Structure 1
Amino acid sequence: MDVAALLDRARANGVRIATAESCTGGKVAAELTEIPGSSDVFICGFVTYSNTAKQAMLGVKSATLEAHGAVSEEVAREMAEGAVARSEADIAVSITGIAGPGGSEHKPEGRVCFALARRGAATFIETQEFGAPGRARVRQLATDHALDLIARSLG
Protein backbone atom coordinates (compact mmCIF):
# COMPACT_ATOMS: atom_id res chain seq x y z
CA MET A 1 0.00 0.00 0.00
CA ASP A 2 1.36 3.39 -1.00
CA VAL A 3 0.35 5.36 2.10
CA ALA A 4 1.76 8.62 0.71
CA ALA A 5 -0.49 8.27 -2.35
CA LEU A 6 -3.47 7.49 -0.11
CA LEU A 7 -2.81 10.69 1.87
CA ASP A 8 -2.39 12.67 -1.36
CA ARG A 9 -5.79 11.44 -2.58
CA ALA A 10 -7.40 12.32 0.75
CA ARG A 11 -5.79 15.75 0.60
CA ALA A 12 -6.96 16.32 -2.99
CA ASN A 13 -10.52 15.34 -2.02
CA GLY A 14 -10.52 17.38 1.19
CA VAL A 15 -11.09 14.25 3.26
CA ARG A 16 -9.90 14.00 6.87
CA ILE A 17 -9.28 10.58 8.39
CA ALA A 18 -9.62 9.01 11.85
CA THR A 19 -8.98 5.46 13.02
CA ALA A 20 -10.62 3.32 15.70
CA GLU A 21 -8.41 0.33 16.45
CA SER A 22 -8.53 -2.61 18.78
CA CYS A 23 -6.45 -5.64 17.76
CA THR A 24 -4.06 -3.54 15.64
CA GLY A 25 -3.21 -1.37 18.64
CA GLY A 26 -2.67 1.83 16.65
CA LYS A 27 -0.73 0.34 13.71
CA VAL A 28 -2.99 1.99 11.12
CA ALA A 29 -2.53 5.40 12.72
CA ALA A 30 1.22 4.75 12.90
CA GLU A 31 1.36 3.93 9.17
CA LEU A 32 -0.55 7.11 8.31
CA THR A 33 1.58 9.33 10.52
CA GLU A 34 4.84 7.84 9.25
CA ILE A 35 4.44 10.14 6.22
CA PRO A 36 5.62 13.75 6.74
CA GLY A 37 2.78 16.24 6.36
CA SER A 38 0.06 13.74 7.23
CA SER A 39 -1.27 16.03 9.96
CA ASP A 40 -3.38 17.98 7.46
CA VAL A 41 -5.30 14.79 6.63
CA PHE A 42 -5.03 12.48 9.64
CA ILE A 43 -7.10 13.85 12.53
CA CYS A 44 -6.77 11.26 15.29
CA GLY A 45 -6.62 7.63 16.24
CA PHE A 46 -8.58 5.91 18.97
CA VAL A 47 -6.90 2.80 20.39
CA THR A 48 -9.70 1.07 22.26
CA TYR A 49 -8.36 -2.31 23.26
CA SER A 50 -10.80 -2.93 26.11
CA ASN A 51 -14.59 -2.97 25.94
CA THR A 52 -14.65 -0.19 28.53
CA ALA A 53 -12.52 2.00 26.26
CA LYS A 54 -14.75 1.20 23.26
CA GLN A 55 -17.73 2.39 25.27
CA ALA A 56 -16.12 5.47 26.84
CA MET A 57 -14.16 6.75 23.85
CA LEU A 58 -16.34 5.70 20.91
CA GLY A 59 -19.82 5.29 22.36
CA VAL A 60 -20.08 1.56 21.65
CA LYS A 61 -23.24 0.37 23.41
CA SER A 62 -22.96 -2.21 26.18
CA ALA A 63 -25.99 -3.96 24.68
CA THR A 64 -24.11 -4.38 21.39
CA LEU A 65 -21.08 -5.82 23.17
CA GLU A 66 -23.26 -8.18 25.20
CA ALA A 67 -25.29 -9.35 22.20
CA HIS A 68 -22.49 -9.74 19.65
CA GLY A 69 -19.13 -9.56 21.46
CA ALA A 70 -16.27 -7.19 20.74
CA VAL A 71 -15.25 -9.09 17.61
CA SER A 72 -18.33 -8.43 15.50
CA GLU A 73 -19.42 -6.33 12.57
CA GLU A 74 -21.92 -4.61 14.85
CA VAL A 75 -19.17 -3.39 17.19
CA ALA A 76 -16.94 -2.45 14.24
CA ARG A 77 -19.80 -0.30 12.90
CA GLU A 78 -20.30 1.49 16.22
CA MET A 79 -16.55 2.03 16.55
CA ALA A 80 -16.21 3.65 13.11
CA GLU A 81 -19.35 5.73 13.48
CA GLY A 82 -18.24 6.80 16.96
CA ALA A 83 -14.84 7.90 15.64
CA VAL A 84 -16.49 10.11 13.02
CA ALA A 85 -18.97 11.50 15.54
CA ARG A 86 -16.27 12.23 18.13
CA SER A 87 -13.73 13.86 15.83
CA GLU A 88 -13.48 16.29 12.96
CA ALA A 89 -12.84 13.44 10.53
CA ASP A 90 -14.87 12.87 7.40
CA ILE A 91 -14.13 9.13 7.35
CA ALA A 92 -13.03 6.60 9.93
CA VAL A 93 -11.92 3.02 9.66
CA SER A 94 -12.33 0.60 12.55
CA ILE A 95 -10.71 -2.74 13.29
CA THR A 96 -11.67 -5.30 15.93
CA GLY A 97 -10.54 -8.90 15.88
CA ILE A 98 -8.68 -11.85 17.30
CA ALA A 99 -5.00 -11.57 16.43
CA GLY A 100 -4.11 -14.63 18.46
CA PRO A 101 -3.05 -16.81 19.88
CA GLY A 102 -6.38 -18.28 20.80
CA GLY A 103 -9.88 -17.78 19.60
CA SER A 104 -12.77 -20.20 19.72
CA GLU A 105 -14.86 -22.38 17.45
CA HIS A 106 -17.28 -19.47 16.94
CA LYS A 107 -14.65 -16.72 16.75
CA PRO A 108 -11.42 -18.20 15.46
CA GLU A 109 -7.97 -16.68 15.52
CA GLY A 110 -7.50 -14.42 12.53
CA ARG A 111 -11.11 -13.19 12.35
CA VAL A 112 -11.10 -9.42 12.01
CA CYS A 113 -14.11 -7.15 11.55
CA PHE A 114 -13.79 -3.82 9.78
CA ALA A 115 -16.01 -0.81 9.20
CA LEU A 116 -15.59 2.36 7.23
CA ALA A 117 -17.87 5.22 8.25
CA ARG A 118 -18.25 8.38 6.21
CA ARG A 119 -20.21 11.47 7.20
CA GLY A 120 -23.56 11.44 5.43
CA ALA A 121 -23.15 7.98 3.91
CA ALA A 122 -23.94 4.39 4.80
CA THR A 123 -21.28 2.59 6.82
CA PHE A 124 -19.47 -0.26 5.07
CA ILE A 125 -18.77 -3.34 7.22
CA GLU A 126 -17.05 -6.64 6.51
CA THR A 127 -15.26 -9.53 8.15
CA GLN A 128 -11.98 -11.02 6.95
CA GLU A 129 -10.73 -14.46 7.94
CA PHE A 130 -6.93 -14.27 7.90
CA GLY A 131 -6.45 -17.71 9.42
CA ALA A 132 -3.82 -18.36 12.09
CA PRO A 133 -0.47 -17.22 10.63
CA GLY A 134 0.52 -15.78 14.03
CA ARG A 135 -0.28 -12.65 15.97
CA ALA A 136 2.14 -10.29 14.23
CA ARG A 137 1.01 -11.41 10.77
CA VAL A 138 -2.71 -11.05 11.56
CA ARG A 139 -2.07 -7.55 12.91
CA GLN A 140 -0.14 -6.58 9.77
CA LEU A 141 -2.74 -8.09 7.43
CA ALA A 142 -5.49 -6.21 9.30
CA THR A 143 -3.50 -2.96 9.11
CA ASP A 144 -2.94 -3.38 5.37
CA HIS A 145 -6.61 -4.20 4.81
CA ALA A 146 -7.76 -1.14 6.76
CA LEU A 147 -5.47 1.11 4.71
CA ASP A 148 -6.88 -0.48 1.54
CA LEU A 149 -10.44 0.25 2.73
CA ILE A 150 -9.52 3.90 3.21
CA ALA A 151 -7.85 4.03 -0.22
CA ARG A 152 -10.85 2.44 -1.94
CA SER A 153 -13.21 4.88 -0.24
CA LEU A 154 -11.25 7.77 -1.75
CA GLY A 155 -11.79 6.52 -5.31
Structure 2
Amino acid sequence: MSLFPPDIEQTATKIIADFTAKGLMVVTAESCTGGLIAAALTEIAGSSAVVDRGLVTYTNEAKADILGVSVDTLKNFGAVSRETALEMAAGALKASQAQVSVSVTGIAGPGGGSATKPVGLVHLAASNRQGKVLHREKRYGDIGRSDVRLATLRTAFEMLQEIAEA
Protein backbone atom coordinates (compact mmCIF):
# COMPACT_ATOMS: atom_id res chain seq x y z
CA MET A 1 0.00 0.00 0.00
CA SER A 2 1.36 3.40 -0.99
CA LEU A 3 1.21 6.54 1.10
CA PHE A 4 0.11 8.43 -2.01
CA PRO A 5 -2.92 8.40 -4.34
CA PRO A 6 -2.67 5.90 -7.21
CA ASP A 7 -2.06 8.54 -9.92
CA ILE A 8 0.89 9.99 -7.97
CA GLU A 9 2.36 6.53 -7.38
CA GLN A 10 1.98 5.68 -11.10
CA THR A 11 3.66 8.92 -12.18
CA ALA A 12 6.47 8.47 -9.65
CA THR A 13 7.03 4.93 -10.96
CA LYS A 14 7.25 6.27 -14.53
CA ILE A 15 9.70 9.03 -13.47
CA ILE A 16 11.93 6.54 -11.66
CA ALA A 17 11.93 4.21 -14.70
CA ASP A 18 12.53 7.03 -17.21
CA PHE A 19 15.26 8.71 -15.16
CA THR A 20 16.96 5.35 -14.52
CA ALA A 21 16.97 4.60 -18.25
CA LYS A 22 18.48 8.02 -18.99
CA GLY A 23 20.99 7.92 -16.13
CA LEU A 24 19.51 11.05 -14.56
CA MET A 25 19.42 11.97 -10.90
CA VAL A 26 17.09 14.53 -9.34
CA VAL A 27 17.32 16.92 -6.42
CA THR A 28 14.23 18.52 -4.89
CA ALA A 29 14.09 21.93 -3.22
CA GLU A 30 10.79 22.10 -1.38
CA SER A 31 9.04 24.68 0.72
CA CYS A 32 5.24 24.35 0.81
CA THR A 33 5.36 20.63 0.01
CA GLY A 34 7.68 19.93 2.94
CA GLY A 35 9.42 17.00 1.27
CA LEU A 36 6.40 15.37 -0.40
CA ILE A 37 8.06 15.30 -3.82
CA ALA A 38 11.10 13.45 -2.50
CA ALA A 39 8.86 11.21 -0.39
CA ALA A 40 6.69 10.25 -3.37
CA LEU A 41 9.74 9.44 -5.48
CA THR A 42 11.42 7.41 -2.74
CA GLU A 43 8.20 5.44 -2.22
CA ILE A 44 9.18 3.63 -5.43
CA ALA A 45 11.62 0.71 -5.39
CA GLY A 46 14.76 1.60 -7.32
CA SER A 47 14.54 5.30 -6.44
CA SER A 48 18.07 5.25 -4.97
CA ALA A 49 19.37 5.28 -8.55
CA VAL A 50 17.44 8.50 -9.25
CA VAL A 51 16.98 10.61 -6.10
CA ASP A 52 20.20 12.36 -5.10
CA ARG A 53 18.69 14.38 -2.25
CA GLY A 54 15.66 16.31 -1.08
CA LEU A 55 16.11 19.72 0.48
CA VAL A 56 13.28 21.14 2.57
CA THR A 57 13.91 24.86 2.85
CA TYR A 58 10.85 26.17 4.62
CA THR A 59 12.24 29.44 5.99
CA ASN A 60 13.81 32.32 4.11
CA GLU A 61 17.01 31.66 6.05
CA ALA A 62 17.09 28.05 4.82
CA LYS A 63 16.45 29.17 1.24
CA ALA A 64 19.40 31.57 1.51
CA ASP A 65 21.77 29.32 3.52
CA ILE A 66 21.20 25.99 1.78
CA LEU A 67 20.17 27.02 -1.74
CA GLY A 68 21.91 30.37 -2.08
CA VAL A 69 18.71 32.30 -2.76
CA SER A 70 19.66 35.96 -2.67
CA VAL A 71 18.52 37.93 0.38
CA ASP A 72 17.68 40.74 -2.08
CA THR A 73 15.44 38.39 -4.07
CA LEU A 74 13.61 37.35 -0.91
CA LYS A 75 13.26 40.97 0.19
CA ASN A 76 12.20 42.39 -3.18
CA PHE A 77 10.00 39.56 -4.52
CA GLY A 78 9.21 37.44 -1.48
CA ALA A 79 9.60 33.73 -0.81
CA VAL A 80 6.59 32.95 -3.00
CA SER A 81 7.76 34.29 -6.35
CA ARG A 82 9.03 33.27 -9.75
CA GLU A 83 12.45 34.67 -8.89
CA THR A 84 12.76 32.67 -5.67
CA ALA A 85 11.60 29.42 -7.32
CA LEU A 86 14.17 29.85 -10.10
CA GLU A 87 16.98 30.56 -7.63
CA MET A 88 15.90 27.55 -5.54
CA ALA A 89 16.12 25.25 -8.58
CA ALA A 90 19.54 26.62 -9.55
CA GLY A 91 20.81 26.40 -5.98
CA ALA A 92 19.62 22.82 -5.62
CA LEU A 93 21.69 21.79 -8.64
CA LYS A 94 24.75 23.52 -7.15
CA ALA A 95 24.19 21.75 -3.81
CA SER A 96 23.93 18.28 -5.36
CA GLN A 97 25.27 15.76 -7.82
CA ALA A 98 21.93 15.66 -9.67
CA GLN A 99 21.44 16.56 -13.33
CA VAL A 100 17.86 17.78 -12.79
CA SER A 101 16.22 19.87 -10.09
CA VAL A 102 12.69 20.84 -9.18
CA SER A 103 11.70 23.53 -6.69
CA VAL A 104 8.41 24.64 -5.15
CA THR A 105 7.43 27.59 -3.01
CA GLY A 106 3.89 28.62 -2.23
CA ILE A 107 1.05 29.31 0.16
CA ALA A 108 -0.75 26.11 1.09
CA GLY A 109 -3.05 27.76 3.61
CA PRO A 110 -5.34 27.96 5.34
CA GLY A 111 -3.75 31.28 6.35
CA GLY A 112 -0.85 33.29 5.01
CA GLY A 113 -2.43 34.58 1.82
CA SER A 114 -2.93 38.17 0.73
CA ALA A 115 -4.69 40.02 -2.09
CA THR A 116 -1.60 39.78 -4.32
CA LYS A 117 -0.48 36.34 -3.10
CA PRO A 118 -3.59 34.33 -2.26
CA VAL A 119 -3.78 30.92 -0.63
CA GLY A 120 -3.13 28.34 -3.32
CA LEU A 121 -0.49 30.39 -5.15
CA VAL A 122 2.57 28.25 -5.90
CA HIS A 123 5.66 28.93 -8.00
CA LEU A 124 7.51 25.91 -9.36
CA ALA A 125 10.77 25.70 -11.29
CA ALA A 126 12.77 22.90 -12.84
CA SER A 127 16.22 23.04 -14.35
CA ASN A 128 18.95 20.87 -15.75
CA ARG A 129 22.71 21.18 -16.10
CA GLN A 130 22.39 22.01 -19.81
CA GLY A 131 20.73 25.32 -18.90
CA LYS A 132 17.10 24.42 -19.62
CA VAL A 133 14.80 26.15 -17.12
CA LEU A 134 11.06 25.86 -16.65
CA HIS A 135 8.77 27.96 -14.45
CA ARG A 136 5.09 27.64 -13.67
CA GLU A 137 2.87 29.86 -11.59
CA LYS A 138 -0.15 27.94 -10.35
CA ARG A 139 -3.20 29.33 -8.61
CA TYR A 140 -4.88 26.25 -7.22
CA GLY A 141 -7.24 28.31 -5.07
CA ASP A 142 -8.20 27.87 -1.45
CA ILE A 143 -8.87 24.13 -1.87
CA GLY A 144 -7.39 23.06 1.45
CA ARG A 145 -3.80 22.64 2.59
CA SER A 146 -3.47 18.96 1.67
CA ASP A 147 -5.03 19.45 -1.76
CA VAL A 148 -2.76 22.41 -2.56
CA ARG A 149 0.26 20.30 -1.60
CA LEU A 150 -0.88 17.29 -3.67
CA ALA A 151 -1.71 19.50 -6.67
CA THR A 152 1.78 21.01 -6.38
CA LEU A 153 3.30 17.53 -6.28
CA ARG A 154 1.44 16.59 -9.49
CA THR A 155 2.65 19.75 -11.26
CA ALA A 156 6.22 19.15 -10.06
CA PHE A 157 6.08 15.64 -11.53
CA GLU A 158 4.86 17.04 -14.87
CA MET A 159 7.78 19.46 -14.86
CA LEU A 160 10.30 16.72 -14.02
CA GLN A 161 9.04 14.69 -16.97
CA GLU A 162 9.26 17.74 -19.24
CA ILE A 163 12.79 18.71 -18.16
CA ALA A 164 13.96 15.11 -18.61
CA GLU A 165 12.90 15.32 -22.26
CA ALA A 166 14.99 18.47 -22.79
Give % identity: 44
Report whether the alignment pairs 1:104 with 2:106: no
Per-residue deviation, residues 98-152 of structure 1 (Å, max 9, x unmatched): 0001200010000000000110213211200101111111011001110111112
Runs of 4+ in 1 over 3 A off after TM superposition: none
Q: CA RMSD in A?
A: 0.9
Per-residue deviation, residues 64-100 of structure 1 (Å, max 9, x unmatched): 0001000001000000000001100000000000000
State the match for 2:65 in structure 1. 56
Determine which of 144, 149, 152 is the counterpart of 2:159: 149
State the match for 1:125 in structure 2. 135
Distance 2:64 2:88 in 1: 9
State the match for 1:83 in structure 2. 92
Structure 1 gap ranges (5+): none
State the match for 2:56 in structure 1. 47
Distance 2:108 2:140 in 1: 9
Per-residue deviation, residues 20-47 of structure 1 (Å, max 9, x unmatched): 0000000000000001110111100000
The TM-score with structure 1 as length reference comes to 0.97
State the match for 1:12 in structure 2. 21
Report whether the alignment pairs 1:115 with 2:125: yes
Structure 2 gap ranges (5+): 1-7
Distance 2:89 2:164 in 1: 16
Q: Secondary structure at the match of 2:137?
A: strand
The TM-score with structure 2 as length reference comes to 0.91
Distance 2:162 2:127 in 1: 13
Q: Secondary structure at the match of 1:7?
A: helix
Contact 2:106 2:122 in 1 (8 A): yes
